[in-house]
């Protein structure tokens, strides 16, 4: 799962990023209004943490841009401004949540999880598809009630495929999802092939049907 942290306080941004990385999120950063606009114009995120007071512009204008583009990224406003007017305006524009600084990182992580669960998985903690069962909160996978041990990248890939079921996903989209804005630096997609090969092997060995289809020259699709 990929998070964009839009925050000009570098120490706070890095603290948030370190905590969320330990929670298996891939974090990217923007410290100015211009950087944030560039990133949301190019990339999609599972959740965006948005500070309202940024060098070069108003964070609410970024929120307006996200909604004008009809992007589905979840948004949590994180701000030192504990203004009722700002909260109401942010939520009316389309923010999913509002958290006033200072806040506890576990609470922030819980709110991020809640937004992603609601947007991508219909507000459930357990995702089931026939013999396959995924516990989103515990980050566990079972097939026919047998535990399947996945790496962080493999688990993230599985969720990404299921949340985009029956859609063709390109190799470049997978690279960006797994590696963020450094994906363009790779010469090839070999690292994607390795993760997908290992994921399919573990699921198949556990008795899972082959839902993940390879569309040669195009990408992949999770079919149900």
Q: Which pLDDT tens digit goes with each residue over 87-145?
A: 888 889 989 999 988 899 999 999 999 999 988 888 889 999 999 999 998 999 999 99
Helix (H, G, I), strand (E, B), or coil: what is residue 152?
helix
Cβ-defined contacts of 172-180 (< 8 Å, 24+): 173/219, 174/219, 174/220, 176/43, 177/2, 178/26, 178/153, 179/26, 180/2, 180/26, 180/28, 180/43
Average pLDDT, the chain: 90
Pairing of strands 74-79, 47-50: parallel
| Residue 177: per-residue pLDDT | 83
Counts of helices then strands in the chain (DSSP H, E): 8, 14
Q: What is the mean pLDDT of residues 177-195?
A: 72
Q: What is the mean pLDDT of residues 162-187?
A: 79
| Residue 184: per-residue pLDDT | 56
Please determine, for residue 54, whether its predicted confidence score (pLDDT) is greater than 80: yes
* pLDDT > 70: percent of the chain: 96
| Residue 148: per-residue pLDDT | 97
Distances from the Cα of 84 to the Cα of 16, 79, 142, angstroms: 24, 12, 45
Q: Are 208 and 143 in contact (CB under 8 A)?
A: yes
- Three-state SS string over 76-92 comes to EEEECCCCHHHHHHHHH
Question: What is the distance between the alpha carbons of residues 138 and 218, in angstroms, rounded to a whole number?
Answer: 33
Hey, what domains does the chain have and what are their CATH numbers? 2-121 (3.40.50.2300), 126-222 (1.10.10.10)
DSSP 171-223: HHHHHHHHHGGGGGG-S--HHHHHHHHHHHHHHHHTT----EEEETTTEEEE-
Helix (H, G, I), strand (E, B), or coil: what is residue 30?
strand
Question: What is the distance between the alpha carbons of residues 221 and 173, in angstroms, rounded to a whole number?
Answer: 12
Q: What is the mean pLDDT of residues 175-185?
A: 69
Please determine, for residue 83, whether its predicted confidence score (pLDDT) is greater than 80: no
Please determine, for residue 7, whether its predicted confidence score (pLDDT) is greater than 90: yes
| Residue 171: per-residue pLDDT | 87
Q: For residue 126, what are its two tokens?
A: 């357990």
Nearest to 54 by CA among 77, 84, 73: 77
Distances from the Cα of 162 to the Cα of 103, 129, 195, 207, angstroms: 32, 9, 16, 18
Handedness of CA 96, 178, 123, 41 (dihedral sign): positive
Q: For residue 90, what are its two tokens?
A: 């942010």
């Amino acid at each position: 799962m990929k998070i964009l942290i839009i925050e000009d306080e570098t120490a706070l941004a890095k603290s948030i990023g370190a905590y969320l990385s330990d929670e298996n999120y891939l974090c990217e950063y923007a410290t100015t209004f211009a950087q944030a606009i560039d990133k949301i114009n190019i990339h999609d995120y599972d959740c965006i943490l948005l500070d309202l007071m940024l060098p070069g512009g108003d964070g609410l204008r970024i929120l307006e841009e996200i909604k004008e583009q009809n992007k589905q990224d979840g948004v949590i406003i994180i701000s030192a401004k504990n203004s009722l007017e700002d909260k109401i305006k942010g939520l009316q524009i389309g923010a999913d949540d509002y958290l006033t600084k200072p806040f506890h990182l576990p609470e922030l992580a819980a709110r991020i999880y809640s937004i992603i669960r609601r947007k991508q998985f219909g507000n459930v903690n357990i995702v089931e598809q026939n013999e396959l069962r995924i516990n989103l909160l515990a980050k566990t996978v079972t097939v026919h009630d047998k535990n399947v041990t996945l790496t962080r990248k493999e688990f993230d890939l599985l969720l990404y495929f299921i949340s985009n079921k029956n859609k063709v996903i390109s190799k470049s989209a997978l690279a960006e999802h797994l590696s963020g804005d450094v994906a363009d630096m790779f010469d090839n997609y070999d690292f994607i092939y390795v993760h997908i090969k290992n994921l399919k092997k573990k699921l198949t060995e556990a008795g899972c049907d082959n839902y993940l289809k390879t569309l040669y020259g195009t990408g992949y699709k999770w079919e149900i």
